[in-house]
Amino acid sequence: MNIQELLPVLFNITWQHLLMICVGIVLIYLAIAKQYEPTLLLPMGFGAILVNIPLTSAITQIDPETGKAIEGALSVFYEAGIANEVFPLLIFIAIGAMIDFGPLFKNPFLLLFGAAAQFGIFFTIIAATTMGFDLKEAASIGIIGAADGPTSIFVSSRFAPDLLGPISVAAYSYMALVPIIQPPVIRLLTSKKERLIRMDAQPKTVSRTALILFPIIVTVIAGIVAPSSIALIGFLMFGNLIRECGVLNKLSLSAQNELASLVTILLGISIASTMTAERFVRLDTLMIIGLGLVAFIFDTFGGVMFAKLVNVFRPEGKKINPMIGACGISAFPMSARVVHNMGQKEDQYNFLLMHAVSSNVGGQIGSVVAGGLILALVPLLLL
């Protein structure tokens, strides 16, 4: 028996495998040292190492002697939870159970910023098509701009499963980098005078009936207008109904904690099954990472510019601080915190947090609606 038979991995490893193992280590480093979305980036990083060791048993391999497929655990997880979209939907139940729609009832107009700040998704879809991606791939890349990991995974697993790895890495990395990406864009688009605008905060309580009715009504409306979005929006609202109904506290806590934790582990490590060197070490990956950044920048642009447009029609004293527009993305509560801190830097007595949170909650709904619309529109335009 020679050394090649004893240590076959050493003779099968390529520079691409080594590069991917380094990518895995970098993701683990970012998760632990920088705390960038550690719940997802750590399983993905470790999974990237698992699947890039040649002859790994973690993913399905073809036995060279018999020609039969030997199933690997990560491939089984992928087929069981991502290919059929179950894991992202379970995460939506958990997220729904975590969302408090109460702030939206205090200033429902801010819901519209959750629409404007999805502009980055569509700008990126256009940009991706000019770079040679087909429509399904471009839509999957654009959805990084939803700033919503599960929506990105849901859309790309349906339209471009081969790009799932880089899209997930880009989506979660940029979500963690919101405090670095958004402030310079906001400063570039707003004047100091605009950043100093104060907004009145009206103390208001929301009835329990209203909070129970909201997820039901949203689901019914979404189902009527865009049935293909019903899985995304419905699971989110189901989670929220569990939270708000008041009689399922144990289930609500389980959804927020155990369900979220368990599915996140499975989701992260299952995505890693697509991060093989053959799929990941490509020029496309770099382009996707670049386009993801474009998506986040133009989300911020869309939100801020919409706020400035709204201010044209609002009287003095009722104007909206344009920074609030930037919170219309789904990265909750990070984006709201970033804008509140920016407001306090300009004027320590300017408290924007409540408005920023309302806009940010609008962004959580907006991102899911955007995902549902893309799922509905792309197949129609490909007919």
Partner 1 sequence: MDPFNAALKITAIGMAGIFVFMFIFYLSIRLIDKFFPGEAPSGNQS
Which residues of the chain form contacts with partner 1 (CB under 8 A)?
Answer: 104-105, 108-109, 111-112, 114-116, 118-119, 121-123, 125-126, 128-130, 133-135, 138-139, 203-207, 209-210, 213-214, 217-218, 221-222, 225-226, 362, 365-366, 369-370, 373-374, 377-378, 381-382
| Helix runs in 245-352, H state only | 249-254, 260-272, 277-280, 283-312, 334-346
349 by DSSP, 3-state: which? Answer: coil
- Nearer CB in complex with partner 1: 21/127: 127
Looking at the Cβ atoms of 242 and 378, the one nearer to partner 1 is 378
Omega cis (within 30) before 227: no
Which is closer to partner 1, CB of 119 or CB of 301? 119
Q: Tokens for 59?
A: 């993913």
Torsion angle (degrees, nearest 10) of CA 247, 250, 252, 256: 170
Nearer to partner 1, 179 or 290 (CB): 290
- Which DSSP category does 257 fall into? I
Cβ at position 99, least distance to partner 1 in Å? 14
The conformation of residue 246, written as its DSSP 8-state character, comes to S
Of 36 and 133, nearer to partner 1 (C-beta) is 133
Instruction: Please give the Cα distance from 121 to 131 (Å, whole number).
Output: 15
Q: Minimum distance between the CB of residue 210 and partner 1, rounded to whole angstroms?
A: 5
CB of 142 to partner 1, least distance (A): 8
| Separation CA 271–CA 157 (nearest Å) | 10
CB of 128 to partner 1, least distance (A): 8
Minimum gap (Å) between residue 205 Cβ and partner 1: 4
**Dihedral through CA 138, CA 376, CA 149, CA 157, nearest 10?**
-70
Q: How far is the CB of 159 from partner 1 (least distance, A)?
A: 12
Residue 338 contacts residue 353 (beta carbons within 8 Å):
no
- Measured from the CB atom, the residue of 32 and 216 that comes closer to partner 1 is 216
